[in-house]
Chains A and B, each alone.
Chain A
C-alpha cells in the first residue's frame, strides 16, 4: 500500500517533468523566425554551406516528432543542448551560475522561516493591537514588489548609511527576497497555531500545568507546521524565480543575468534549461514535503502501516 502510494507520487513527478520538457519544446516550435535565424543571430550573411552545416548539427532537417524524441532523449541524459549565444553547453552555463542563486535562495528562505515562526509564535491569539499590527505588516509585505524593496534597502543601507556594500553582499539581497515568503508563511503559521490553540488537547496540556510557551512550542507548533511545510515546498520554486529579479537589483551574478540575457536574445535552450531546473527543484521539494509530512505527523505513519 505504502509502496504503491510512493510509486504514484514518483510517477506524478516524472509526468510533471516530462510535461515541463514538452512545454519547453513546444515553446521552441512556437518561435517566429525559426531556430536557424536564432542561431545565426545578426550575422545573417552566412553562406549556404554554413546554413546547411547548422541545419545538420541541430537536426533541423528532421520532422518535428523526430526532433522532439531526440530532445527528450538528450534531456534524459542530462544534455540540455547548446546555448545559441554563449556557444557552450546549457548545463555548463547553468552549472556555473546556479551555486550563487542557490546560496541566495536558501539564505532568504531560512530567514523567512525563522522570522515567520517567531512572529507566528509571538502573535497568535495575542492582544488585537499586536496581532493586528503584524497581520497588517504581512499584508504590506505581500504587496511590496521584491525588486522595489531591494531598491529601498540599497538606498537606505548602502547609499545613505553605508552599512552594507552596494554590490557583492548577501545580506541585503537575502532580506529583499525573504519579504514575500516570510509574509506568506507567517500568515499560514499564525492561522494554524490559532486553530491548534483552540483544540481540546491544548486545554489538556494547560490543565497538566504547562506554561504558555511550552504549549505553543511543544504542542501547537507541530500542528501548525503541516500546512506551512506544504507552502514552503511551493515557496522554494517561487523564491528561486524571485531571485532572478533580486539578482538584477543588486547586480549579483547568478541565474538571473543568464536567464534575462537569454530571454532578450531568444536563446531558447538556456531559457528552457532554467525552466527545467526550476521544475526539477519544485518536484524534488514536493517529494521531500511528502516525507516531511510523515515525520511531523505520526498519524500518517500509522495509517500507512495499517
Chain B
C-alpha cells in the first residue's frame, strides 16, 4: 500500500509571494533611482543633528554623524543588490566552468575538481571568505569575490550532476550517433538544459550573497566609510545601542527584507521549474 498522491491542483499564489515580489520591485526601484525616496543626502553630516530619533523631518532618525538614516538606507540598496548579483553571477560562471570540466574533462579532471570541491566544502563559508579577504585585502570588489568563492562549490556540484545526467539522455546519444562534434553537443544540447535549475539556484543565491556581503561589511572588511552600506551602517551603530536603537534596527530590516523577498520569489521560481521537469 502506498500513500495516495496529493490531489492535483494549481499551486495557489499566496499572499507571501505577492509581498515578496512587491518588496523586490521596491528594492530594484530604489536601487535604480535612490533620489526618488531619499529625503536627504546619504553622506552629508550635520553635527547639530546627531542621533535624532525618528520624527517628521527624519522619518527613521539620524546617525552619530547627523546623517539621515532613511537616505543612507535607500542609497545602500544599490551596492547591496549589485554585490549580490555580482557575487552570484561570478559564482555561477566559475561553478559552471568547474562543473563542465569535471563532467566532460575525463576521469583525472573529475577527480581533481571533485576532491577540490570537497576541500572547499570542508572550510566553513565565512572562514573561506575571510581567507580570500586576507589575501586580496578588504574592499567592495574583494567582498564580492570572497562571497563568490564561498558559494561556488554548490553551483559546480549541481552543474556537474546535471551535465552527467543529461549526457546520458536519449537526445545526446542521438546527437553523438549523428556525428555532432563533442563541443557542439556540450554547447548546443547539454549546457542549455543543464543550466535551468542552476539559474534558479543563482536567483536564490543573490539573497544569501547579500546577507554574506553585509556580514563582511559589518566586520569592517567592505566599502570604506562614509559609503552608505547596510552592513557598514550596522557596524557604525555599535556603541549607540542604548541611546539610538533606530541606527541599529532599520538597516537590518533592509537586509532581512531583501534576503527574504528574494528567497520567497526564488523558491516560487524553483517550484515552477521543478514542476515542469517532473510532470
Contact = CB atoms under 8 A, between A and B. Distances in A.
Interface residues of A, number: 58
B116 to A, nearest CB: 7
A266 B252 CA distance: 29
Nearest to A203: B1
Interface residues on B, range: 35 or more
A19 B127 contact: no
B263 A139 contact: yes
A244 B248 CA distance: 20
A143 to B, nearest CB: 4
B119 interface: yes
Contact of B214 (A30, A145, A155, A166): A145
A244 B126 contact: yes
Interface stretch (B28-36, B129-137, B268-276): B129-137
A73 interface: no
B260 A139 contact: yes
A136 B124 CA distance: 26
B64 interface: no
B46 interface: no
Nearest to B1: A200
Contacts of B130: 244, 259-260, 263, 271
A50 B218 CA distance: 38
Nearest to A20: B119
Interface in B89-145: 115-116, 118-128, 130-131, 133-135, 137-138
Contact of A263 (B221, B237, B249): B221
Contact of A152 (B16, B218, B249, B260): B249
Contacts of B133: 263
A214 interface: no
Contacts of B123: 20, 23, 237, 275, 278-279, 282
Contacts of B131: 23-24, 27, 271-272, 275
Interface in A264-285: 264, 266, 268, 271-272, 274-275, 278-279, 282-283
22 contacts: A19-B122, A23-B120, A23-B123, A23-B131, A139-B260, A143-B256, A145-B231, A147-B215, A148-B234, A151-B234, A151-B248, A158-B241, A199-B3, A237-B123, A241-B126, A241-B127, A245-B218, A245-B219, A248-B218, A264-B220, A278-B127, A282-B121
Interface of B: 1-3, 16, 115-116, 118-128, 130-131, 133-135, 137-138, 207, 211, 214-215, 218-221, 231, 234, 237, 241-242, 245, 248-249, 252, 255-256, 259-260, 263-264
Interface of A: 12, 15-17, 19-20, 22-24, 27, 30-31, 136, 139-140, 142-148, 151-152, 154-155, 158-160, 166, 198-200, 203, 234, 237-238, 240-242, 244-245, 248, 259-260, 262-264, 266, 268, 271-272, 274-275, 278-279, 282-283
